[in-house]
Amino acid sequence: MAICGLLVALSAPTANAAPTTPTPLTDPARARAVAAEFGADHTGGVYYDKAGQLVIAVTDEATARAVRAEGGVAEVVKHSTATLTSARATLDRRIADADPIPNTSWGVDPSTNQLTVEIFDGVSAADEKRLMSLVAGYGDAVRVEKLPGTIRPTAYESVGGIGIYSKDGGWHCTLGFNARNSSGQKYFVTAGHCAKTDLDLWWHREAGGNYLGKRIWFDYGGIDKDYAVMEYRGEDLAAYGSVKAVGTYYEITDSRYPNDGESAKRAGAVSSDLVGEVLSPSETVTYSDGTVLKNMIKTSHCALGGDSGGPLWAGTYALGITSGTNTPDGATCNSTVSQYRTYFQPVHWVLAHHGLSVF
């Protein structure tokens, strides 16, 4: 009996030990992986809330408990990723792919748990009715907003500003990011619509006119992308892994896809906007010239003509290449404004597609 009493005394602390607290889930890639484990019918995406907290949206309390057990922050929402992506696929298939409507964009916004459809100036009443009839059946899973201005590529055909230009085409744009391949050959990326021509494009530095290099790859709307890759061929050039905005240099060490709700900076040859937010990491947009682009990044930044190709980044990560905006010509564009939209080609896709990396 004495021995049994001793065993009970020794075992008691173990039986009453506190449960282990899971490590907080702060890596967005891991959060997306956790969401994927539970499936598109039980989750509603991953996003940063206004307090900067990483959130996994879920559609039921059971999944919420499972997410919290993994260390994640869960929010129960009404609409699943499956529902929202189905609505987007419908718009892509029946409008963007079949009969595009210029000056429109749409994408899944996990932070609001909706498919956000934005209609800009220049959309006819008939086209607006056609668009609205498709989304009507999805109820509050779709939010429609009307915004001023037209969405257009941000390049302009005139001399002026700081950046890069082509003597072949007369385009003035902005260098986005420097990159290189596994052999060390250096390249730079900019917007594809800057290089959309049958001419051989030889690019120069705006300030000083130094020869930089030649266009190697590009696309503008052909495969729903907007990018150009130029190979450095000029002499006495020093290409560095950084971007410059408002007199400050920012080091860029890697690239990745953006996260919904995260803060980001944008720079251009004409204007820079260092305070902005990723509103949608994967947006379908139709520009006023009828070009349809998919899986674009939509942000709250402004941009002006000549900023095309300029960098979008967060911390030391390259995110995107400036493509289009609804910012009016002549408007004030800096970090004090936030009523505009700007669209970016994800640069991580471009680099991976061509076997390149930023440095």
- pLDDT for 160 equals 28
- pLDDT for 262 equals 97
Annotation marks residue 301 as catalytic:
no
Catalytic residue, candidates 226, 260, 273, 307: 226
Name residue, tokens 């915004």: 147
- pLDDT band for position 10 (50/70/90)? very low
Task: Output the CA torsion sign for 219, 220, 224, 228.
Answer: positive
pTM score of the predicted model = 0.85
Judge whether residue 7 has pLDDT over 90. no
The pairs formed by 14-18 with CB atoms below 8 angstroms and a separation of 24 or more are none
Catalytic residue, candidates 280, 288, 308, 323: 308
Q: Which residues pair with 153 in a beta bridge?
A: 324
Judge whether residue 248 has pLDDT over 60. yes
Angle between helices 125-135 and 81-91 (to 10 degrees): 150
| Structural class in CATH, domain 81-146 | alpha beta
User: What topology is assigned to 152-358 in CATH?
Assistant: Thrombin, subunit H (2.40.10)
Q: Identify which has the larger pLDDT, 170 or 234.
A: 234
* Paired sense of beta strands 254-255 and 317-325, if any: parallel
**pLDDT per position as a tens digit, 73-98:** 999 999 999 999 999 999 999 999 99
Catalytic residue, candidates 193, 260, 288, 323: 193
Q: Are 325 and 303 in contact (CB under 8 A)?
A: yes
- pLDDT band for position 8 (50/70/90)? very low
User: How do the domains of the chain map onto residue ranges?
Assistant: 24-77, 81-146, 152-358
**pLDDT per position as a tens digit, 40-60:** 999 999 999 999 999 999 999
Average of per-residue pLDDT values in the chain: 90
Q: Distance between CA atoms of 134 and 88, rounded to whole angstroms? A: 10
- pLDDT for 9 equals 36
Q: What is the mean pLDDT of residues 296-316?
A: 96
Q: Distance between CA atoms of 102 and 120, rounded to whole angstroms? A: 9
- pLDDT for 237 equals 75
Q: Provide the greatest CA pair distance for the chain.
A: 98
**pLDDT per position as a tens digit, 315-339:** 999 999 999 999 999 899 998 888 8
- pLDDT band for position 67 (50/70/90)? very high
Q: Distance between CA atoms of 182 and 260, rounded to whole angstroms? A: 31
Annotation marks residue 226 as catalytic:
yes
Candidates 266, 259, 228; CA nearest to 244 is: 266
Annotation marks residue 193 as catalytic:
yes
**pLDDT per position as a tens digit, 111-135:** 999 999 999 999 999 999 999 999 9
- pLDDT for 18 equals 56
Judge whether residue 15 has pLDDT over 80. no
**pLDDT per position as a tens digit, 164-210:** 999 877 688 999 999 999 999 999 999 999 998 877 788 988 887 88
Q: Which of 145-159, 179-193, 259-273 has the lowest mean pLDDT?
A: 145-159
Q: Distance between CA atoms of 100 and 226, rounded to whole angstroms? A: 17
Q: Are 352 and 227 in contact (CB under 8 A)?
A: no
